[in-house]
Structure 1
Amino acid sequence: MDEVTWRGATVVWARASDVPELSTEDLAAMGQGQLARFRELTGARAAGFLAGRALIRELVLRLGGGPYVPLDSVCARCGEHHAAPRTPGFVLSVSHAEDLVVVAAAQGREPLGVDVEHDTAALRVAELAPLFSAASAPDLAGWTRIEAAVKADGRGIVIDPGDVRLRPEPAAVEPAEWTAMLPGRASPLQVATLPGPTGYTLSAARG
């Protein structure tokens, strides 16, 4: 497992196959909804879900949570357990790309979002250019910054990615940061593309 910190958030990543297996008993201890969701999945998606929950538990415990890490991922729109995971005292975000799992966590309630894409996704992102104006069509890094901002906002697919505006910050900081303005949101988010796993592009957003 590797990690990077940014604006008070810790971001970790690992291959699903490299994460110590979380037992169904341990998953059930995080919430019966988590176990029910896992049983709906198969193959790589099930393995990625289990690895993500294992990373969440490990990271929250390391950051001072516990002794248990209960999770709630009920979707406000439909009541199913597929929303972003939540646990008392922390904000969380999870992203998957192929067999890589990325988890971000921070204490408090300040918004947090993370997104990762394999570098081969650049072609797919280029195909999304019609969603944007000619001047604002993003490259792969820009797309991950938009996705991280949307996740941090919490409204998900109700936000049109083409309506997210990213403005580079003039300050010479590393990593470089952008201000993200989202429709219907009063306060901006700060976004950065972080040094992450080789062959992938990783971005995070904070309130």
Structure 2
Amino acid sequence: MNGAGGVRVAWRIVSAGADRREVSRSLLTELLPGARLSSRCSRCGGDHGRVRVSGAEVTASVSYASGWAIVAVRDGDQRVGIDAVAADATGLDRVLPGADARTWARVEAVLKADGRGLAVDPARVRIVERADGEWSSTIDGAAAGVGFDVEAPPGVVVAVAVASAS
């Protein structure tokens, strides 16, 4: 599926017993033939960090929810962030007061696009609806980027954010 801002989004069910990272990497490989993927965590070196793409001028992001692997890719060097949340998720307001699934997906997509993820307090993110159906975001009052909600698999809420140009 092609979305706003040149973002391509795809998803696939993660079958029982399947490795969800293998499923997301398979999706990314289909979207980015010939590209090489890595995801080393900058803190511990484990294979669970932000997806990095080499061999193609794109950025990518991955999320998982309710048995689905969901990926986003965008041509160029502006970072993209995607987040997926079960539509009936509860307890999100313990981390972000007043948050429902839609709010949480938007905020986490912004933080992924920002590059710092949950190292930033989600309460520092503000989302503002735009007349065109998209939304813009700030972190501590500074422009963070734009985003949009994505038609998603049943029972899942998905949001995509593209970071402001550096």
TM class, shorter-length: 0.7 to 0.9
Where does residue 144 of structure 2 map in the other structure?
188
Count how many residue pairs are aligned between Structure 1 and Structure 2.
161
What residue in structure 2 maps to residue 13 of structure 1?
A: 11
Say which structure is richer in strand.
2
Map of 1:206 onto structure 2: 162
Give 1:191's aligned amino acid. Answer: G
Mapped to 2, the partners of 1:179 and 1:14 lie a distance apart of 28
Tell whether the 8 Å contact from 2:83 to 2:160 is kept in structure 1 after alignment.
Answer: yes
Q: Which residue of 2 aligns with 1:28?
A: none
Instruction: Give the 3-state SS of the residue equivalent to 1:105 in structure 2.
Output: strand
Gaps of 5+ in 2: none
In 2: Cα distance, 1:81 partner to 1:100 partner: 19
Counterpart residue identity of residue 159, structure 1: V
Q: CA deviation at 1:138?
A: 2.7
% identical aligned pairs: 32
State the structure with more CA Rg: 1
Q: What's the secondary structure of 1:7's corresponding residue? A: helix
Please name the residue that 1:71 is paired with: 37
1:84 and 2:40 equivalent? no
TM-score, length of structure 2 as denominator length: 0.87
For 2:53 and 2:119, how far apart are their aligned partners in 1? 23
Task: Indicate the residue corresponding to 1:146 in structure 2.
Answer: 107
Matched residue, 2:129: 168
Distance in 1 of aligned mates of 2:46 and 2:20: 18
Alpha-carbon separation, structure 2, partners of 1:13 and 1:205: 17
Q: Give CA deviations for 1:182-201 in whole Å, capped at 9, x if unaligned.
A: 14x85421022122222211
**Residue of 14, 21, 27 corresponding to 1:49:** 21
- The answer on whether the counterparts of 1:4 and 1:195 sit within 8 Å (CA) in structure 2 is no
Question: How far apart, in 1, do the equivalents of 2:3 and 2:149 lie?
Answer: 12
Give unpaired runs (5+ residues) of structure 1. 18-42
